[in-house]
């Protein structure tokens, strides 16, 4: 899978929620077409949380009587509610007041047990989205607003949890994994192991190695005023916002610093902003910027692991320029637009965990061959290569194959040890058909949409001894793991995959996102 094209960059910005500009008329409400959420989308995940909060009987009653779209709230109506729980997307969920029909209010930046005042701006199926106006009664066991290190927290859509302790964040993310497998795996509960505690990120701030602020081109009215000389051409126009999406809106929030981004990126952001302000009238279209933290040069001796003072980092802003990163003693190069995990500090714990899952201490011998599907620029292939006789990374993207092959050379892997192959989507495992399945481990790290049925069919036919599924979307991972297990039960000839372990990894502290690692063993 070409991650450089298809894999969303988690948490660069949260999709804006469209809101009406005025209260819709009753006739407009009747004509409105109701669209159900795409399966496994963030809207579908939210719907599962809403059903769990209201209860099956309440939801069933509304569906039976056709009232699931009949919101009890008007546009911009203000209401006071008590938060019951958090959604898997990080929003607060609250029952509507007892005086109204059963309904759920969805609001940002609030916590269970808090009484909040909100303003409704959009209604959907048995729930309404609302702006948080006030935390009337805070939950001081959870909330400490002094923890927030960003002056834009509460306005920017990027972070959800800066008011929480880090241990609390990790616990919430473990619960997201639990709910994902309950809701989407279709597996019997007794076959799902207890989800292990979420692995923490070594850095909780200053960790993001890539950010993509954006801004809009000058509006027509402002451009005309500038051309007539009625506005200053050097001052920053009031309409110009360079940053990330404002929570729940289509508007951009002007952001001068992002505390979860690395210091290198924040240092580069200021002069970039100044240059945009200086040249804003030359832009005909809006622009999405790229800022990536990169090592300036690879060392002449790659066996030397430099200290922080010896390794100069720069900010890369060109989509086609080369970005360089180091994970422990392994170096990676890839184009600026390509996918690479955006929290370097957690990559050694992540790859070490995957290695330990493949080679548990309880087994006297382990796999000799590794297949790294969706290998990208070779993160898992190269980090785990010393532990295998032969490694094959498979990708659909020719550009990613080129980067991975270059990285194997940079890191001086023995010739023939590690190969990167362009696999055809219809028969991706044909390139490794000579690998012994009982001595082969498979790592899959797909884009957010997960794997597809043809891929899973091939996986089951290949029947390798161990599968480690790394995912940036635990909900599609749960679906795929369920499909793999059930398909093997049907076609495995007495063999079956057992879900041995589940664990979240926190690649994006202060946000609701959680990465997930599932380990399957063939028995």
- pLDDT interval class at 396 (50, 70, 90): confident
Backbone angles phi, psi at 171, to 5 degrees: -65, -40
pLDDT > 90: what percent of the chain? 82
Helix (H, G, I), strand (E, B) or coil at 271: helix
Helix, strand or coil for residue 152? coil
Average the pLDDT over 26-43 and give the result: 74
Residue of 461, 470, 471 whose CA lies nearest to 497: 461
**For the chain, what is the mean pLDDT?**
91
Q: What is residue 2's predicted lDDT score, i.e. its pLDDT?
A: 39
- Residues paired with 18 in a beta bridge: none
Is 374 annotated to bind a ligand? Reply is yes
Spatial neighbors of 28 by CB under 8 A, at least 6 apart, are none
Tens of pLDDT, residues 295-347 = 999 988 776 666 667 799 999 999 999 999 999 999 999 999 999 999 999 99
Residues whose CB falls within 8 Å of the CB of residue 427, separated by 6 or more in sequence, listed in order:
458
Which residue out of 159, 315, 375, 472 is catalytically annotated? 472
Whole-number Å distance between alpha carbons of 97 and 75: 16
Tell me which residue of 252, 257, 253, 260 sits closest to 268, measured CA to CA: 257
Gap between the Cα atoms of 245 and 234, Å rounded: 25
109-113, 229-233, 481-485, 510-514, range with the lowest pLDDT: 229-233
pLDDT value of residue 207: 98
Rounded percentage of the chain residues whose pLDDT exceeds 70: 91
Strand partners, 394: 373, 421
Taking 50 as the threshold, does the pLDDT of residue 381 lie above it?
Answer: yes
Band the pLDDT of 231: cuts 50, 70, 90. Answer: low
**315 catalytic per annotation:** no
pLDDT given at position 6 = 34
pLDDT, tens digit, for every residue of 481-513?
Answer: 999 999 999 998 999 999 999 999 999 999 999
395 annotated as ligand-binding: yes
For the beta carbon of residue 267, count every other beta carbon within 10 angstroms: 14
Would you say 12 and 290 are in contact if contact means Cβ atoms under 8 Å apart?
A: no
**pTM more than 0.85:** yes
Rounded to whole angstroms, how far apart are CA atoms 420 and 423? 9
pLDDT at 30 over 60: no
Q: Using an 8 Å Cβ cutoff, are 338 and 1 in contact?
A: no
Among candidate residues 76, 181, 81, the one with its CA nearest the CA of residue 119? 76
Instruction: Give the pLDDT mean for 197-215.
Output: 98
Arithmetic mean of pLDDT, 56-85: 97
Lowest-pLDDT choice from 12-21, 154-163, 408-417, 505-514: 12-21
| pLDDT tens digits, one per residue of 446-467 | 999 999 999 999 999 999 999 9
Q: What average pLDDT does this structure show over 371-389?
A: 96
**Model pLDDT, residue 425:** 59
At residue 320, the pLDDT reads 96
Q: How far apart are CA 420 and CA 374, in angstroms?
A: 11
Helices (H), 66-184: 166-184
Give phi and psi for 465, each to the nearest 5: -70, -35
The rounded radius of gyration (Å) of the Cα atoms in the chain is: 25
Confidence of residue 3 (pLDDT cuts 50, 70, 90): very low
């Amino acid at each position: 899978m070409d991650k450089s094209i298809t894999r969303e960059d988690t948490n660069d910005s949260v999709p804006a929620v469209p809101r009406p500009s005025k209260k819709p008329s009753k006739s407009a409400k009747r004509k409105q077409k109701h669209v159900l959420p795409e399966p496994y989308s963030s809207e579908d995940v939210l719907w599962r949380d809403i059903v769990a909060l209201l209860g099956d009987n309440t939801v069933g009653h509304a569906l039976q009587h056709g009232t699931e779209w009949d919101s009890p709230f008007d546009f911009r109506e203000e209401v006071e509610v008590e938060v019951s729980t958090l959604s898997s997307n990080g929003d607060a969920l609250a029952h509507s007041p007892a005086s109204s029909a059963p309904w759920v209010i969805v609001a940002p930046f609030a916590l269970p047990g808090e009484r909040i005042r909100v303003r409704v701006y959009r209604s959907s199926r048995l729930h309404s989205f609302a702006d948080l106006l006030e935390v009337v009664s805070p939950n001081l066991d959870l909330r400490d607003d002094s923890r927030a290190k960003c002056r834009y927290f509460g306005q920017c859509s990027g972070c959800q949890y800066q008011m929480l302790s880090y241990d609390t964040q990790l616990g919430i993310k473990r619960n997201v994994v639990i709910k994902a497998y309950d809701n989407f795996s279709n597996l019997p509960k007794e076959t799902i192991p207890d989800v292990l505690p979420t692995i923490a990120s070594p850095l909780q701030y200053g960790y993001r190695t890539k950010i993509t602020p954006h801004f809009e081109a000058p509006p027509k009215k402002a451009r005309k005023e500038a051309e007539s000389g009625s506005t200053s051409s050097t001052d920053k126009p009031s309409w110009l916002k360079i940053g990330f999406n404002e929570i729940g809106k289509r508007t951009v929030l002007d952001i001068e610093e992002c505390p979860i981004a690395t210091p290198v990126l924040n240092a580069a952001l200021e002069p970039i902003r100044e240059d945009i302000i200086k040249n804003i009238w030359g832009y005909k279209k809006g622009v999405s910027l790229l800022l990536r933290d990169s090592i300036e040069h690879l060392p002449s001796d790659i066996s030397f692991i430099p200290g922080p003072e010896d390794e100069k980092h720069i900010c890369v802003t060109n989509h086609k320029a080369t970005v360089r990163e180091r994970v422990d003693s392994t170096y990676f190069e890839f184009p600026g637009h390509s996918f690479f995990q955006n929290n370097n500090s957690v990559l050694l714990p992540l790859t070490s965990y995957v290695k330990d899952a493949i080679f548990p201490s309880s087994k006297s011998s382990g796999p000799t061959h590794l297949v790294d599907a969706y290998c990208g620029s070779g993160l898992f292939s190269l980090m785990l290569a010393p532990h295998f006789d032969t490694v094959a990374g498979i990708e659909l993207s020719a550009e990613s194959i080129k980067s991975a092959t270059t990285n194997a050379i940079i890191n001086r892997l023995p010739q023939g040890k590690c190969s990167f192959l362009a696999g055809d989507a219809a028969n991706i495992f044909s390139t490794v058909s000579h690998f012994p399945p009982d001595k082969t481990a498979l790592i899959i790290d797909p884009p957010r949409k997960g794997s597809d049925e043809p891929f899973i069919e091939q996986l089951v036919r290949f029947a390798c001894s161990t599968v480690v599924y790394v995912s940036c979307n635990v909900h599609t991972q749960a679906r795929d793991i369920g499909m793999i297990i059930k398909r093997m039960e049907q076609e495995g000839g007495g063999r079956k995959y057992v879900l041995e372990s589940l664990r979240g990894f926190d690649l994006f502290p202060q946000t609701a996102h959680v990465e997930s690692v599932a380990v399957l063993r063939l028995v």
